[in-house]
A and B are shown apart, each in its own frame.
Chain A
Amino acid sequence: MARYIGKRVLISVPILLLVVTLVFLAFQLIPGDPARMYVGVDASQEAVERVRHDLGLDQPVLVQYVNYMTRLARGDLGKSIYTRRPVTLELAPRFWNTFQLSLAAIIFATIVGVVLGTLATVKHGTGWDHLLTVLSLFGISMPVFWLGLLLTYLFSVQWHLLPSAGNESWRHFLMPTFCLSAFSLAFITRMTRSALLEVMAQDYVRTALAKGVREAVVVGWHALRNAMLPVVTVVGLRFGYMLGGAVVTEEVFAWPGLGRLLVTAVGQRDIPLVQGALLLFGASFVLVNLLVDLLYGVLDPRIRHR
């Protein structure tokens, strides 16, 4: 097992290096000037040149690349162009904020999604099933920004129940969590339903039911466990995406997470910060995928022994 994990981690290193190199190249290829961005459109050329020199952007591209990679090898992600603070210091609190929100959202989405999906299977073909289908369709197609605006309008502006933005207390978590989880929740509901329906049609389920095992036990224990594989895959993927920063949710609720940081940094051409953020995004994605793989083994012994 340890060997398997070690191998997976090792494979991720070249992947991440590739990510960094591609991002570096992309910034060389796309138009845009970080120095001009910093001083603004109405600043004199001398001021721009001065900033360009201070940032080391007047050096040849290859020199810049080698410098960056050398520093990276030493674990130094560089400094943000704007705050001149180490990128790691900028990213850490942002990532923690995003992680908290994503974790809350994925837990909420998974628990509620699996329960509703199971409910839809048990009540297959009835009005409840149809209602849940409609609701999950709603969840999948509802634009997050609209849902966010609607929620804040009702809960903050009209009823003064919840704070409209920020992340200071647990009350600040409720709306963004719901918003961020809406899509995943609906998706997991659908996924659970279809996977479970497939399993329910299997012989062993029919046998169990025929020999008089209670339906709750058959569905909740035997069938659900076997239906979990695709659901876990979806949960893992969704969680990975969320860790990359939920840009829209973060924007609507002014949540100081990684997504907002990344969008701002790209717009401003704060290259070290963007590279750091993407590296972190890549690393967390790789890690989540690894966890999902390991979870497969827990759920399905056949995978473990392969």
Chain B
Amino acid sequence: MFKLRPRVVAFTLIALAAWMLTHYSDSVAGQVQAPAAPHLKPVYGGTLTIVMPFATQVDTNSVLQVNLDEAGLYFHDGLFDWGPDGKARPMLVKQKLVSSDGLTVTWKLQPNVKFHDGTPFNAAAVKWNLERKIQKKQSPYDLLPFKTVEVVDELTARVKLDRPYAALDGVLANRSFSMYSPTFAQKVGDDGLKTQQSGAGPFILTSFVPNEGLRLKKNPNYWQKGLPYPDEVYIRIVNDPNTRATMLAAGDADVALLLSSPDIERFKQTKGIRVLEGQGSQQYYITMNTRRPGLNDKRVRQAFNYAVDKEGIVKNVYLGGARVAQAMFATPSLEGFSPAGAYPYDPEKAKALLDEAGWKMGPSGAREKDGKKLTVDMWTRKGSTPGDYEISELVQGMLKAVGVDCKLTLLEPATFNPRVSMPPEKAEYDMVSMGFNAPTGNVDYVLNMLYSSKAFPPRYYNRAYYVNPEVDQLIEKANHTLKRDEQYKLYAQVIKMVHEEAPIIQLVDLTQQVAYRDSVHGIYLAGPANNYPAQFAWKEKK
């Protein structure tokens, strides 16, 4: 009889391990993506499972946060919605009328809409929701330049604005401006809304467990006839990107959000999985505090821009999943965008500019002026935006290469957030490495929140404390220009000026990517919001 021997067992184990390793690499390489399915007829039923990180509450209107916004798509409808073309389109608003001075906007609302709790949706509900957002100061309430919200009749609402505001539809297309059932919200109170919701969306939220998931069932009375398709949606909250990828690969999830670049590249080659990519409004950049010695000189800031190899970042950090940015903060998907170009990677030019600014190479290998070293402290996080720490390290190295002594300070988000939201006199950083997105889908946001000298933190996000009276004037002028093409010309002018003065190191626009099983149809990328609406998607029966 065969006798079990330790040597045999050990050998078997080693053989098994070896097989596992080789097998793993085999399965990754050499597979071709399945051709896209021919246009199929939508199928009803089934459960759509989505995995994404992090939603600790479901009160979508309490704050604008990408993942919360994403979850809100399923149980809330907005007055407007982001379409696949990256433009805001009417949703609960049926028709929009704007007065000739652009200061009065009248909305005709969709009839026969009911919230999940049976409350009818009407102009009073619109007024209640918008006023609540403003009164409770729920971020970003300040994007609404509202004087008044009036109820004209049951299905007509009217808003009076402080200034003509082209970006209004885009603002309201974010689910941070969802339409809540007023009856329900008053019944459960502000605290109750953190875990329970009643909206007008295609699915009804049946249960929410923080950090675990949201369970939703089809809204049988949804106002858009024939929608939605699945019977249920399960949004699972899974923080670890590797686990999300594994769940998709194993078929335990239909859609996986926010995966790592290597996983996305792998899934492009994997049978049964598709990857959807496109331009969002997310840019990664490095702010320079223009009040700091050295950085207060335009030539130094330009030199820093020349010193950084953006193509290298695109290739090495994002494996191609990003593009070199063509304007400061603004991405091509924004309305009113016009490119200013990118600073080419030219270390020699950077050195020349630094020399010209008086920062000469010292004996220590770093540049000096009047006996002072050109030292900058760059703040960064790790894992808050894909690639954040890697980029910071690369930039540190590239700046060192032109003689800048760059120090890296790693902060965790809870510390980072308040410390980069300080008024100029309290700011402790020279540079901050971080990401940005424009949730309104309009360049207007970039101008007023990032370029304007009125936008210093803590109020807004001009973290460079950049001031240019001419830029301020042009922004003010653009804000009050009614004609779109004239306005866009002013935008273009401002974008060019700011680009030239370089308050930030302009780096990359991130490509938005989502991976999903090929049995899912109808998911799309909602440009500026950086999310992937699948609430009207359907799933093949297998």
B140: chain A residues within 8 A (beta carbon): 42-44, 47
Contact of B139 among A32, A43, A251 (CB under 8 A): A43
Interface string of A17-49 (1 = CB under 8 A from B): 000000000000011111011111111111110
Distance from B437 Cβ to chain A, minimum over Cβ atoms (Å): 8
* Neighbouring A residues of B42 by C-beta, 8 Å: none
- Name B413's contact: one of A37, A79, A158, A252 (CB within 8 Å): A37
- CB contacts (< 8 Å) of B137 on chain A: these are 46-47, 50
Q: Can you list 20 A-B contacts (CB < 8 A)?
A: A32-B418, A34-B414, A36-B421, A44-B139, A44-B460, A50-B136, A83-B194, A90-B210, A131-B9, A152-B246, A153-B24, A156-B247, A164-B243, A165-B243, A165-B246, A252-B242, A253-B243, A256-B212, A264-B211, A268-B414
> Considering the complex, which residues of chain A in the window 39-92 have a beta carbon less than 8 Å from any beta carbon of chain B?
39-48, 50, 79-80, 82-85, 90
Query: Once the chains bind, are A32 and B414 in contact (CB under 8 Å)?
Result: yes
A44 to B274 CA separation, bound complex (whole angstroms): 38
Q: B421 contacts which chain A residues (CB < 8 A)?
A: 36, 41, 45, 48
Q: Mark A241-257, 1 if CB is under 8 A from B, else 0.
A: 00000000001111010
Kindly state whether residue B235 has any CB partner on chain A within 8 Å: no
Contact segment of B57-65, B115-123, B154-162, B477-485: B57-65
- CA of A71 to CA of B242, assembled, Å: 40
In angstroms, how far is the closest chain B Cβ from the Cβ of A50? 4
Is the C-beta of A225 less than 8 angstroms from some C-beta in chain B?
Answer: no
How far is B457's CA from A31's CA once the two chains are assembled, in angstroms? 18
The reply to whether A264 and B246 contact each other, CB–CB distance below 8 Å, is no
In the complex, which of the residues A80, A93, A126, A157 contacts B6, with contact meaning CB atoms closer than 8 Å? A126
**B293 on the interface (CB 8 Å rule)?**
no
Question: B20's closest neighbor in chain A, by CB?
Answer: A154
- Nearest chain B CB to A28 CB, angstrom units: 13
B372 contacts chain A at the CB level, 8 A cutoff: no
Q: Which chain A residues border B195 with CB–CB below 8 Å?
A: 83-85
A300–B192 CA distance with the chains assembled, in angstroms: 54
Contact status A130-B6, CB under 8 Å: yes
- How far does the alpha carbon of A99 sit from the alpha carbon of B49 in the complex, in Å? 27
Distance in Å from the Cβ of B243 to the closest Cβ of chain A?
5
Q: A43-B140, A164-B247 are in contact. Are A85 and B211 (CB under 8 A)?
A: no
Please tell me the number of chain A residues within 8 Å of chain B, measured between CB atoms: 58
Q: Is the CB of A84 within 8 A of B194?
A: yes
Cβ-defined contact, A260 with B211, below 8 A = yes
Q: Is B138 a contact of A267 with CB atoms below 8 Å?
A: no
Q: Other than the known A42-B436, A264-B54, what 18 A-B pairs have Cβ atoms closer than 8 Å?
A: A37-B417, A41-B413, A44-B459, A50-B136, A50-B138, A79-B191, A82-B57, A84-B195, A127-B7, A134-B10, A153-B24, A165-B238, A165-B246, A165-B247, A256-B209, A264-B239, A268-B56, A268-B414
Whole-angstrom distance between the Cβ of B412 and the nearest chain A Cβ: 7
User: Considering the chains assembled together, what is the distance between the CA atoms of A165 and B5 in angstroms?
Assistant: 36
Nearest residue, chain A, Cβ from B436: A42
1/0 per residue A261-273: CB within 8 Å of B?
A: 1001001111000
How many Å lie between the Cα of A42 and that of B459 in the bound state? 9
Nearest CB of chain A from residue B18's CB, rounded to whole Å = 13
CB distance from A94 to the nearest CB of B (A): 9
Residues of A within 8 Å of B236, CB to CB, are: 165-166, 254
- The segment from B78-86, B219-227, B249-257, B505-513 found at the interface with A is B249-257
A297 to chain B, nearest CB (A): 39
Contact of A267 among B139, B190, B413 (CB under 8 A): B413
Are the C-beta atoms of B239 and A260 separated by less than 8 Å?
yes
Q: How far is the CB of B72 from chain A (nearest CB, A)?
A: 15
Residues in A with CB closer than 8 Å to B459 are 44-46
Please state if A82 and B139 are interface contacts (CB–CB under 8 Å).
no
How far is B413's CA from A85's CA once the two chains are assembled, in angstroms? 24
In the complex, what residues of B have CB within 8 A of residue A41's CB? 413, 416-417, 420-421, 434
**A213 lies within 8 A of chain B by Cβ:** no
**A163 x B252 contact (CB < 8 A):** yes
